[in-house]
Structure 1
Amino acid sequence: MVAAVVSLTLAGGAVAGAGPIGAPVLRAPVGGYQELVVPSGMGPIEVQVQWAARGGRSALYVLDGLRAPRDHSQWTSDTDVLRQFAGDNVTLVFPVGGHSSFYADWYRPSSTNGQVTPYKWETFLTGELPAFLARYGVSRTNNAIVGASMGGGAALTLAAHHRDQFKFAGSFSGFVNPTFPLWNEAVRAAMWDEGRFNVDDMWGPAGDPAWYRNDPTAQAELLRGLPMYVSAGNGLPGAPDVPYGFGNTVNAMTLESMAAAAAGIFRDRVASLGIPARVDIVSGTHTWPYWGQAIATARPMILDALGAH
């Protein structure tokens, strides 16, 4: 039997413990989370979990951005999402890692940075992780999935191809149309800059079927009937940008302008197909405070879709 390594993180420190899968779930207090180490084909994956407030079975998977750290989810450090959902009857699931992965199953390991094991994040998020969480009473079929930046497009893609698992999907400043002309080169440049990853090892060259499979706009028909929230900023900075400095803000303005364009393309595509989706273009840049605001906006929609009030 595989053991789950669990540590309980509190404001006053950490208490470690371990128990077999299937043991009673430990409940994290308000603002806290547990760290699970989940076996996968990529090796052990850390997952931060805030359990449902009243033992509910539904779950919200929350995906990081391109710079996903190795030791924690930026959602838990850079937003107040734990507090937002602390009283809700839904388990929050924060996979740790996935740096420059687009949370996809790659063709092969990246050939430009010495990666040994290929990313298989779709397999993990839709197979290995839900099977692991099921032993703790979490449903495999009543889940929602959202993400920021890199994780936004991935959230819609995973929901499109796994409708039996996900009942809601949300993208916050996601690049939801990567097959748009030359945007594959923008993805290439971003992944090279962030870890020297080779996009050809992920989805092949431009035009490869994997690009279209991982493009939510191209796969829009598969999203029909799924409650969705897509948001992006207009690229104009505001008070939340001040702590990040001028250089970071300029970069965040540029990235968000691209995300807004992609959101507009997605909005027009689903509208042409008669597929309902809420798409908001709001004030802001490609920065964590705005994504904290976006998930707050999405929260009532998520709870409604999951019946998790």
Structure 2
Amino acid sequence: MAGDVRSGGRRSIRGWWKRSFAAVAAAVVMSSFGVVQAAAAPSGGYDELWVPSSMGPIKVQVQWAARGGSAALYVLDGLRAPADHSQWTSDTDALRQFAGDNVTLVFPVGGHSSFYTDWYRPSSTNRQAVTYRWETFLTEELPAFLAGYGVSRTNNAVVGASMGGNAALTLAAHHRDQFRFAGSFSGYVNPTFPLWNEAMRLALRDEGNFNLDDMWGPAGDPAWSRNDATVQAELLRGLPMYVWSGNGVPTGADLPYGVGNTLNAMVLETMTQTAAQIFRNRLAALGIGARVDIGPGTHTWPYWQEALRTSRPLILDALGV
């Protein structure tokens, strides 16, 4: 898949200018007649776009819907999100899975240790220059930009792995006008669970020396509840959802990662299993439907690739494509 991404990158500048010029020209022509229409969506292919935001330009990798459809699937990265690409495009076959489907795949790049949320302020422990505003980007700035390419602002799905899992559910909970499906793969979907804030504090310190208090404030701040999918479960009523977690038991898929990495992935996944069980029980108590699968596996990409494969027909059905 890395080869596919690099190949697409060489085409991206020409494709971006061509499509941007066409979209602007069409808008000018239509406005002269007092008519406002969305641009036609591209049909197939891959591009890398730079999207304006309050955080500065954000790179977004895009695989356009195979037949020019307007539906989109937003795919969120994990805690170690690289600055130059989404790990979904390098560590999984996500692009290939949806290559023939009439849905645009949207991979926001970056968001390292952000939890894809709006922070209170820049991290004070690593001299962060800007305040993370990922919820604003994913629900306002990016949809508005993609609308210029014919991508719907209201017929979207969102999935994420690890850090992105809880975010996918909470984004959908608070923006039901945008998202028609949400999926969490090994997500920490109950961050207000006792002492988990301290585990998150250690994770953010380890991965970039970020200060947790600058994200949601101290434990008990309203931002913690707002960003807890289990607490916000009622807002998810009626939304198709797929939640997957491993149980921490490794399989053959872990062999390439070595003993040390696998042991770490086992510990992390036992935590997400607990979170998934709490979330499942909360939904059951409220009478809210969702598919929640817990099975063998650890906290690593092969399992998230398969979780995406399992959720694919559910996503396509929810988006009507």
Quickly name the TM-score band, shorter chain normalised: over 0.9
The alignment status of 1:110 with 2:123, answered yes or no, reads yes
Query: What is the identity, as a one-letter code, of the residue corresponding to 2:232?
Result: Q
Matched AA of 2:209: R
Q: CA RMSD in A?
A: 1.4
Distance in 2 (CA, whole Å) between partners of 1:12 and 1:171 is 28
Give the C-alpha shift of residue 14 in structure 1.
2.0
Aligned residue among 192, 213, 217 for 1:179: 192
Matched, 1:243 2:256: yes
The residue type equivalent to 2:63 in the other structure is Q
> Counterpart of 1:130?
143
Q: CA offsets per residue over residues 91-121 of structure 1, 9 Å max, x none?
A: 0000000000000000000000000110000
Q: 1:14 aligns with which of 7, 10, 34?
A: 10
Q: Partner of 1:94 in structure 2? A: 107
Name structure 2 gaps, 5 residues minimum.
Answer: 25-39
Is contact 2:41–2:151 with CA below 8 Å preserved after alignment?
no
- The equivalent residue for 2:32 is none
- Residue 195 of structure 1 aligns with which residue? 208
How far is 1:283 from its partner?
1.0
Is residue 41–residue 70 contact of structure 2 (8 Å, CA) maintained in 1? Answer: no
Secondary structure of 2:60's counterpart equals strand
Where do residues 130-279 of structure 1 align in structure 2 (5 Å cutoff)?
130-279=143-292
CA contact (8 A) 1:170 1:230 kept: yes
Query: Is 1:56–2:69 an aligned residue pair?
Result: yes
CA contact (8 A) 1:173 1:260 kept: yes
Q: Which amino acid aligns with 2:95?
A: L
Aligned residues: 298
User: How far off its partner does 1:25 sit?
Assistant: 5.3
TM-fit CA distance, 1:10: 5.8
Letter in 2 for 1:215: D
Single out whichever of 87-96 and 236-245 deviates more from structure 2.
236-245
Whole-angstrom distance in 2 between the partners of 1:266 and 1:12: 39
Tell me if structure 1 keeps the 8 A contact 2:43–2:69: no
- TM-score of the aligned structures, taking structure 1 as reference length: 0.94
User: Residues 12, 297 of structure 1: CA spacing in aligned structure 2 closer, same or farther, 3 A cutoff?
Assistant: closer
Letter matched to residue 147 of structure 1: G
Greater percentage in helix: 2
Q: What are the Cα deviations for residues 211-256 of structure 1, in whole angstroms up to 9, with x where unaligned?
A: 0000000000000000000010010111111111110000000000
The residue type paired with residue 77 of structure 2 is D
Gap change, CA 1:14 and 1:168, over 3 Å in 2: same
Q: CA deviation at 1:273?
A: 0.2
For the residue of structure 1 that corresponds to 2:47, the secondary structure is: strand
Task: Tell me the amino acid that sits aligned with residue 153 of structure 2.
Answer: R
Structure 1: 5+ residue runs without aligned partners?
1-7
How far apart, CA to CA, are the structure 2 residues paired with 1:9 and 1:81?
12
Amino acid at match of 2:202: A
Distance 1:94 1:155 in 2: 13
Are residues 83 and 182 of structure 1, via their aligned partners in 2, closer, same or farther at CA, if it must alter by over 3 Å?
Answer: same
Query: What is the match of residue 318 of structure 2?
Result: 305
Query: Which structure shows the higher strand fraction?
Result: 1
Partner of 1:4: none
Q: How many Å separate the matches in 1 of 2:192 and 2:265? A: 22
Contact preservation (8 Å) 1:28, 1:34: no
C-alpha change, 1:226 and 1:26, in structure 2 (3 Å) is closer
Provide the rounded CA distance (Å) in 2 between the counterparts of 1:237 and 1:106: 35
Letter of the structure 1 residue corresponding to residue 108 of structure 2 = P
Contact 2:42 2:68 in 1 (8 A): no
Asked whether 1:39 is paired with 2:35, we answer: no
Q: TM-score scaled to structure 2, two decimals?
A: 0.90
- Cα distance in 2 for residues equivalent to 1:264 and 1:296: 22
Q: What is the letter of the counterpart of residue 205 of structure 2?
A: W
Report if the CA contact (8 A) 2:5-2:89 is conserved: no
Indicate the structure (1 or 2) with the bigger Cα radius of gyration: 2
Secondary structure of 2:10's counterpart equals: strand
> Partners in 1 of 2:239 and 2:307 — Cα distance?
18
CA distance in 2: counterparts of 1:12 and 1:264, whole angstroms: 40
Q: Does the 8 Å contact 2:191/2:228 carry over to 1? A: yes
CA distance in 1, matches of 2:223, 2:108: 23
